[in-house]
Amino acid sequence: MLIDFIIFGIVDNAVMIIGAFTGLEVEKYLPERFRLGHLMAIVGAGLGNTFSDFLGGVVALNPSLAFGSAIGCLIGLALIPVFNYVYTRP
């Protein structure tokens, strides 16, 4: 339903905006072994987006939207090492 996607978008962007205004850093909650130095901004943004997408689906009462978007985001995060290798090699 269209209303599910509208609610999803509102919650998704609200989480991002609150994080930007408050300076919330999700990457500081990761174990040290998962910290990737200069890539942490990208990982943190991806994790924040995953969380906000999932929460948007939950608030819209649409479990398929919540879990589907979160899984898609996590698959995208798995590509960070590939992109890092391609764009940082000499």
Q: What is the pTM of this model?
A: 0.72
What pLDDT score was predicted for residue 33? Answer: 67
Structure tokens at 58: 């939950």
Task: Convert the pLDDT of each residue in 15-57 to its tens digit.
Answer: 878 877 887 776 677 777 666 666 777 877 888 889 889 998 8
Structure tokens at 31: 């174990």
Tell me how far the alpha carbon of residue 73 is from its chain's centroid: 6
CA distances from 14 to 10, 18, 45, 53 (A): 6, 6, 14, 11
- Of residues 5 and 63, more confidently modeled: 63
- Of residues 5 and 73, more confidently modeled: 73
Task: Convert the pLDDT of each residue in 55-86 to its tens digit.
Answer: 988 998 999 989 999 999 999 888 888 888 88
Q: Which of 18, 14, 26, 22 is nearest to 56 (CA)?
A: 14
Using CB atoms within 10 Å of the CB of residue 38, give its burial: 0 to 12 exposed, 13 to 18 middle, 19+ buried. Answer: exposed
